[in-house]
Amino acid sequence: MPRHSRVVLPAVPLHVIQRGHDRQRCFFVDEDFAAYRQWLHEEAVVAGCRIHAYVLMSNHVHLLLSVEGVEQLARLMKNVGQRYAQRFNKCHGTSGSPWDGRYKSCLVQTEGYLLTCQRYIELNPIRAGMVRFPGNYKWSSYRSNAEGRHDGVVTPHLVYDRMGRDASARRQAYLRLFQQALTPMQVEQIRAAGNGSGVLGDAAFVASHQRPTRNRK
């Protein structure tokens, strides 16, 4: 079947999804989450990736990030995935990769869509019924973006920085976005782009950034 070639553009953020093998758990205990988050921070610095939002769920990971090229993204995901897999197998008595093959990446239109995707990511624990308030889930970027807690993983995007003249004003403006729930259409659009089309944005953006396919050999 045809396989989408990965498109990475320097000025366009990416929504990246990495799932556990066969949708099984890839995180069991706090130490699992903490190790992955630490290596995500370290490898993002090495690869030159800027992570704007993330959530580590029990069986998958969501990242919203910016990179200069596909090589940096590949380096980040490979190095974090391999480091975590070694620890996972050692600690849990398993073998092989805890990840479900190739991670997925989706271009995200900056204006009008980036902050919506960011909220989608940070609201994952609520949609999963794990918590009632996003700040109650400690394995996401919400506490950094909305509450100002230090998180070395997070580098705010320029769109976020433009929300206020100082850190307090930006947090308050960001919090106000959460007063209105994402619509079912927004959620479905983000999911469809992440799992299939590979482009999240308006019609013109999607048409101009539709990625080519190549036959799988």
Tens digits of per-residue pLDDT, 148-198?
Answer: 999 999 999 999 999 999 999 999 999 999 999 999 999 999 999 998 869
pLDDT at 37: 98
79-130 pLDDT, tens digit per residue, is 999 999 999 999 999 998 999 988 999 999 999 999 999 999 999 999 999 9
Closest CA to 157 of 22, 59, 63, 88: 63
**Residue 177 CB contacts under 8 Å (≥ 6 apart), including other chains:** 115, 119
27-67 pLDDT, tens digit per residue, is 999 999 999 999 999 999 999 999 999 999 999 999 999 99
pLDDT at 216: 42
Provide the whole-model pTM: 0.93
**Residue 204 CB contacts under 8 Å (≥ 6 apart), including other chains:** none
**What superfamily does domain 7-201 belong to in CATH?**
Transposase IS200-like (3.30.70.1290)
